[in-house]
Amino acid sequence: MEENKVAIIVGAHPDDPDVGAAGTTFKWIKDGWRMIYVICTNGDKGSSDPDMTSERLAEIRRREQTEAANCLGVSDIVFLGYPDGWLEDSPVFRGQLVRLIRMYRPEIVFTHDPYRKYMSHHDHRICGQVTLDAVFPYSRDQLFYPEHKAEGLLPHKVAEVYLFGSEDPDVFVDISDVFLTKMKCMSCHKTQFGDHSADWETWIEERKKQMKAMSRRADMPLSEAFHRIKHRR
């Protein structure tokens, strides 16, 4: 049991933390971790419905993400609310992440691997890079964002970062025992994955096949994979 441990999962869009790490999140919560979701954009562009508006989509995706996080027992969800597709490496965005790291004081931070080759969503790339920068050195060094001190937020050293969506994973979490919980969580994101209430068993089997086909571990076909970065404490 990992008592009183905290982890932050920083995703570019609603659904990203669940696609990347819902199984791990659920397992860790059962082991006593406090898991925090930070959703950087409102996801207001991710729809092929010609009648959908950005305003309505943002509202729907916020509800979907809240419902999905509740399935796992995530304790806090922070919505930063940037427009989909417009994340930028800015002092303001970085400062928001630094503030959250100093406030929640996580042992571990999860985020997108910003170093994927050839095919990567702009927001995933920026989210991952700015999160890595926020972890080190910005949240660690007191002279960065000194205004946080006035709020009582002191510098914090994160022990490890887990990058999901990595082409070079070195940590694998077996989620075979919580696979259905991950699928239940992902099914909340109907705007992204469709409504599978009528074909649930078929969808589950299709997702299993997809995960097994993409698995890097023959002995662990239903797993979530991460690249781990360790920081000196």
Which tens digit of pLDDT belongs to each residue from 12-37?
999 999 999 999 999 999 999 999 99
What is the C-alpha R_g of the chain?
17
Instruction: Report the alpha-carbon angle 163-130-23, nearest 5.
Output: 30
What is the 8-class DSSP label of residue 199? S
Instruction: Report the alpha-carbon angle 53-119-219, nearest 5.
Output: 110
Torsion of CA 97, 103, 104, 107, to 10 degrees: 80
Domain spans in the chain, listed from the N-terminal domain onward: 6-230
The number of beta carbons lying within 10 Å of the beta carbon of residue 218 is: 7
Say if CB 46 and CB 192 are below 8 A apart: yes
Pairing outcome for strands 6-11 and 171-174: unpaired
pTM: 0.96
Q: Convert the pLDDT of each residue in 207-233 to its tens digit.
A: 999 999 988 898 999 999 999 999 976
Say if CB 147 and CB 132 are below 8 A apart: no
Q: How far apart are CA 13 and CA 43, in angstroms?
A: 5
Say if CB 139 and CB 10 are below 8 A apart: no
pLDDT band per the 50, 70, 90 thresholds, residue 1: very low
How much of the chain, in percent, has pLDDT values that exceed 90?
92
pLDDT the model gives residue 38: 98
CATH topology of domain 6-230: Rossmann fold (3.40.50)
